[in-house]
Amino acid sequence: MNKTLIDVAVIGGGPAGLAAALKAKEEGLEKVVLIERDKELGGILNQCIHDGFGLIRFGKQLSGCEYSQRYIHMVRKTDIEIHTDTMVLEITPYKEVYAINQSEGVLCWQAKTVILAMGCRERTRPQVGILGTRPAGVLTAGAVQKYINVQGFKPGQKAVILGSGDIGMIMARRMTLEHMEVEGVYEVMPNLGGLRRNKVQCLDDYDIPLHLSTTVVRVHGKKRLTGVTVAKVDEKRKPISGTERYISCDLLVLSVGLIPENELSRHAGIRIHPVTKGPEVNQYMETSLPGVFAAGNVSAVFDLVDYVSKTGEIAAQGAAREIKQLKETAPQKLLPVTPGENISFTLPQCIRPEDGTITFYMRVKKSMEKLTIRLLCDGEVIKAMKLLVANPPEMVSMTVDWKKEYKGEIVMEGKEEQG
């Protein structure tokens, strides 16, 4: 079949893909193809009508729609080839991209580089294992968001929310403003899942109670949800017998985490990191398959869209560098970055030993105060950064001036100051 040769194929037209495609153009690449499976560009931001986006990228509080619209305007001004309503079926290890849509049929590109920007997907009921019947009215927070904000439907009258992640809290406010009753937010962990500002402006403002160390243990109802049973949990997250409480409701909203969407990456043979659930990447966001890059939530779930856009730009610069043959040709051994004390993961996970500025993104394992994040090379501090607070839901970023002489064991750690 006819293969069109292109410089870069960007898979996904959300914030990561938009930023990547735009940056690839700015870097002077000629044939940039942006492929999106939805009918329009923008990704999940199109249903995020609340504000709080873009403070870093645009220096302004924007709503999700405004943020994506700004990028769409910029992308539309270029000659980036956009295919919406188009589903990528396969990416081969040789960087052939197969896609399909209704007007053009099967499409195939031979890409010099590929940028994966497929984003992430919500965890659903089977992934958290709630017992009971299977009635209508058990929805993910993102699905509820789409029904209310895009399609204009009210998915229930009285809701219980499981999970205190940002989307769950934002939907608690949104449903209240749409004159639905929100009985409460239940969180299995002993701490809040999302940002504290969202607890203040989404729950406290509307007197919506938050129940920590409590989960939904059973779903009731035949055709339609009639209620749920909640129970307190112990430190091992096991329900405590005798603490069960029945709540009558017709909607259970699940906000129980996000998982990077990597079917295409796995099929291409790209190595997936066990903690981030995204491709392992180096400082150019390049995956284990040379010439294939990852951007945004496909590589690890970020809490801020500004960081998502930033990784899209890094990936595009990596792709441009590859095409312009700036990369040193001799294969080099990658240095692994090991998460040390109190760090659950870093991005990138490995480093090509070359001079340059590297932005590390990481998550801490527990809430800490007055801490120092240190990047060590064989025990010697390369960079240290003091923070007043760090919480697991909030990604920490640290920019490091990397030298190719750094060799040896690279460890990232976070420690609270003693005393």
Name the residue nearer to another protein (CB basis): 40 or 355: 40
Residue 66 as a binder of another protein (CB under 8 A): the answer is yes
Residue 388 as a binder of another protein (CB under 8 A): the answer is yes
Name the residue nearer to another protein (CB basis): 207 or 235: 207
Structure-block tokens of residue 180: 């639905």
Residue 370 as a binder of another protein (CB under 8 A): the answer is no
Contact region for another protein (CB under 8 A) — 146-154, 275-283, 342-350, 357-365? 146-154
Name the residue nearer to another protein (CB basis): 92 or 201: 201
Residue 309 as a binder of another protein (CB under 8 A): the answer is no
Residue 151 as a binder of another protein (CB under 8 A): the answer is yes
Residue 50 as a binder of another protein (CB under 8 A): the answer is yes
CB of 171 to another protein, least distance (A): 13
Name the residue nearer to another protein (CB basis): 72 or 88: 72
Of positions 30, 90, 104, 205, contacts another protein by CB under 8 A: 205
Q: Is 387 exposed, middle or buried (0-12, 13-18, 19+ CB in 10 A)?
A: middle
Residue 69 as a binder of another protein (CB under 8 A): the answer is yes
Of positions 86, 113, 140, 149, contacts another protein by CB under 8 A: 149
Of positions 106, 177, 240, 384, contacts another protein by CB under 8 A: 177
Number of residues that bind another protein (CB under 8 A): 35
Name the residue nearer to another protein (CB basis): 59 or 129: 59
CB of 69 to another protein, least distance (A): 5
CB of 419 to another protein, least distance (A): 21
Residue 85 as a binder of another protein (CB under 8 A): the answer is no
Of positions 196, 266, 370, 404, contacts another protein by CB under 8 A: 196
Half-sphere CA count of 101, side-chain side, radius 13 A: 16
DSSP collapsed to 3 states, the chain: CCCEEEEEEEECCCHHHHHHHHHHHHCCCCCEEEECCCCCCCHHHHHCCCEEECCCCCCCCEEHHHHHHHHHHHHHCCCCEEECCCEEEEECCCCEEEEEECCCEEEEEEEEEEEECCCEEECCHHHHCCEECCCECEEEHHHHHHHHHHHCCCCCCEEEEECCCHHHHHHHHHHHHCCCEEEEEECCCCCCCCCHHHHHHHHHHHCCCEECCEEEEEEECCCECCEEEEEEECCCCCECCCCCEEEECCEEEECCCEEECCHHHHHCCCCECCCCCCECCCCCCECCCCCEEECHHHCCCCCCHHHHHHHHHHHHHHHHHHHCCCCCCCCCCCEEEEECCCEEEEECCEECCCCEEEEEEEEECCCEEEEEEEEEECCEEEEEEEEEEECCCCCEEEEEEECCCCCCCEEEEEEECCC
CB of 354 to another protein, least distance (A): 32
Structure-block tokens of residue 226: 């009639």
Q: Report whether the peptide linkage leading into residue 348 is cis, meaning its omega lies within 30 degrees of zero.
A: yes
Residue 129's alpha-carbon distances to 73, 120, 214, in angstroms, are 42, 20, 15
Residues 90-129 as x/- pattern, contact with another protein by CB under 8 A: ----------------------------------------
Name the residue nearer to another protein (CB basis): 30 or 205: 205
Name the residue nearer to another protein (CB basis): 292 or 308: 308
Residues 289-308 as x/- pattern, contact with another protein by CB under 8 A: --------------xx----
Of positions 4, 26, 38, 51, contacts another protein by CB under 8 A: 51
Name the residue nearer to another protein (CB basis): 200 or 240: 200
Residues near another protein (CB under 8 A): 39-40, 46, 49-52, 55, 61-63, 65-66, 68-69, 72-73, 148-152, 177, 195-201, 205, 303-304, 388, 394
